[in-house]
Amino acid sequence: MNWLLVVVGAVVGAPLRYLTDRAVQTRHGSVFPFGTFAVNTAACLLLGALTGAVLAGADASRLQLLLGTGLCGALSTYSTFSYETLRLAERGWRFLAAVNVVASVLVGLGAVRLGSWLAGELFG
Amino acid sequence: MTGPADGSREDPSGDPSGSDPSGGSPSGGDEAIDPDIDLRVPAQRAEPQGRVLAAVAAGGALGASARYGVALLWPAAPGAFPWATFWINVSGSALIGVLMVLISEGGRTAPHPLVRPFVGVGVLGGFTTFSTYAVDFSLLLDEGEAGTALAYAGLTLAGALGAVWASASVTRRAVDGRRG
C-alpha cells in the first residue's frame, strides 16, 4: 500500500516534469535550463509545505508518501540538473553553469522555507 | 536508422557542421543542454506525446520505487548526514552522464526513441531528487547542525557534478576509442 502511494505520485510527477519543461521551453528560447529550475523549485515549495505541516502536528504520513516521496521526488531531479550544468560549462557558458548551481540551491532552500512557513501558519 | 541525418558517423569528412567533434545526431545532438526534453533538437520537438509520456511515467515509477527502497533500507537519523539521498543523487548523476553520451554521441545507429524518455527522464529523474535534498538541507539547519548541513549541500553538489563530468568523459573516451 505504501509503495503504491509512491508509485501513483511518481506516475504523475515524472510526466509533469517533462510537460512543464516542454511548456517552459516553448515560451523561452534561452539556453538557461528554466524548465528544470521551475520544476525543482515547485517541488521544493510543495515538499517544504508537507514537512511544515508534519512539524506543525498534522498527520500526513500517507500524503508524505504520495506527494512527498512520489510526486515531489519524481517532479524534481538531480540528475538532469547535474547534466545541464555540465553541458552549459562544456559549451562555454561557465557563468550560466555557476548561476544555475547557486540559484537552484538558494532558491530551492528559499522555496522549502516558504512552503514550511505557509504550512505552519495554516496548521500551527 | 541510417538516414542522412545520421551521416556524421559513416562519413566524418562530410559533416557540414563538423566543428564540434561530437557531431550531429538524430536524438541528442550537440545543441542539447536539457536531457529531459530539448526543443532545439528536431527529433525531440516531434516526439509522439502519448508513448513518450507513458514511458516517462513508467520509468518514473521505477526510479521512485528504487529511491523509496533505498530510503527504507538506509534511513537517516534526524540531525545526521543523509547518506542515502547523497548516494542516490551522485549515482543518478553518474548514470545520466553515461546515458546521454551513449545516446547523443554513441553509435552508428540511432537509439530507440523511447530510451531517453524512459531511462533518462523517467528512471533517473524519478530516482534522483532535488526536493528531498533541499528539505534535508533546511532541516539540518533548523536542527542546529549547520556544519553537517553545509557539508551535505556542498558534498552533494561536488559529488553529483564530479560524477556527471567523470562519467561523461570516460564514456566519451570509450566511444571514441571503439570508433577508432
**Lowest mean pLDDT, pick from B41-50, B68-77, B93-102:** B41-50
Whether ipTM tops 0.95, in short, is yes
pLDDT of B22 > 50? The answer is no
Helices (H), chain B: 7-10, 42-45, 49-73, 83-101, 115, 125-127, 131-142, 146-179
CA distance B79 to chain A (A): 15
Q: What per-residue confidence (pLDDT) applies to A76?
A: 98
> Which residues of chain B neighbour A85 with C-beta distances below 8 Å?
161, 164
> Which residues of chain B neighbour A86 with C-beta distances below 8 Å?
97, 161, 164-165, 168
- Say which residue, B69 or B25, is predicted with more confidence: B69
Query: Is A86 within 8 Å of B164 when comparing Cβ atoms?
Result: yes
Mean pLDDT throughout B78-93? 97
pLDDT of A103 > 60? The answer is yes
Q: What is the DSSP string of B15-35?
A: -TTTTSTT---SSS-TT---S
Residue B18 neighbours by CB distance under 10 Å: 12
Q: For chain B, what is the radius of gyration of the CA atoms?
A: 19
Q: What per-residue confidence (pLDDT) applies to A59?
A: 86
Query: Cell numbers of B92, please?
Result: 543518478
The chain A residue lying nearest B96, using CA atoms, is A79
Grade residue A22 by pLDDT with cuts at 50, 70 and 90.
very high
